Amino acid sequence: MKTLLTHDMQIEDTATKEHDLSIVYGQEGNTQEAFAHMQKSVKLSPYGDNLYNLGNLYEQNGNLPKAQVYYSKALSVMETYYVTADTHNRQEDDLAVYSGLSRVLLLTSTHNWKKW
């Protein structure tokens, strides 16, 4: 898969191909390459999945403020897209974005929960 994607990107580089290659590198444990390709995917054309996955990479590597930024962007893009396209049937994707964002918000919260 990686070889095919790399070859195809020499012909035409797209956000989807960069996204898919990032996923392959992530599955192989090559975080540096996964980041590079996901960032390029977002730069080429930000959409819900690549924004979410970039946020997820940041969260996995301990950069929670950056994860929050990209989870929030993913949520915003997905809400705009679905309202416009009237196809808001991707509940699993929505749940993943909300879960990621809420997890990061809870982990970075400075709220004093002992008062409750």
pLDDT at 116: 46
Domain ranges in the chain? 1-45, 46-108
Angle, CA of 69, 101 and 93, to the nearest 5°: 105
Query: Would you place residue 112 in the very low, low, confident or very high pLDDT band (cuts 50, 70, 90)?
Result: low
Task: Indicate the pTM of the whole model.
Answer: 0.76
DSSP 80-92: HHHHHHT----HH
Q: Is pLDDT larger for residue 84 or for residue 20? A: 20
What is the tens place of the pLDDT at every residue in 28-59?
Answer: 999 999 999 999 999 999 998 999 999 999 99
pLDDT digits (tens, 9 = 90+) for 59-87: 999 999 999 999 999 988 887 765 544 45
> Nearest-CA neighbor of 64 among 22, 103, 32, 36?
103
Pick among 1.25.40, 1.10.1200, 1.10.287, 1.10.3470: CATH of 46-108: 1.25.40
